[in-house]
Amino acid sequence: MSESYQVSIFLIGVSAERLYRAWLDGKAHAAFTGAGAQVDPQVGGAFTAWDGYISGTNLELSPHRRIVQAWRTTEFPQGSPDSRLEISFEEDEGGTRLTLTHSDIPDGQGESYKQGWEDYYFKPMQAYFAGEEAD
């Protein structure tokens, strides 16, 4: 068995293009999360985030609309397959809705990662992009 969920955030004043580019740029990704990241921004390219705690591969890239990644953390049980992370970007009046669909998560870990997206991605992203717009 595996777990899955979907979480979403609306970022005011940020384009889908800007969010997409930031997600796939190691320096920008590190800036909005506050932890080290490296990203090879092409299909098949590897990435790490949160100082190596997260790693994976880009499976599908639809510029400014969608990113699909094979995704895992150092807490995945040995021998377990990667989970699947789909990030979609949908512009609406005044900003962009970013939606994460995270599936194939090892049993018992889903709720922890769901909360992690809120605490370690969405909240820092709101602060980072709000500050960027204010500059």
Which domains, ranges and CATH numbers included, belong to the chain? 1-17+56-106+129-135 (3.30.530.20)
Give the chain's residues under pLDDT 50. Answer: 133-135
Query: What is the pTM for the complete model shown?
Result: 0.93
Three-state SS string over 92-123 comes to ECCEEEEEEEEEEEECCCHHHHHHHHHHHHHH
Contact call for residues 109 and 121 (beta carbons, < 8 A): no
**pLDDT given for residue 131 in this prediction:** 83
**pLDDT given for residue 121 in this prediction:** 96
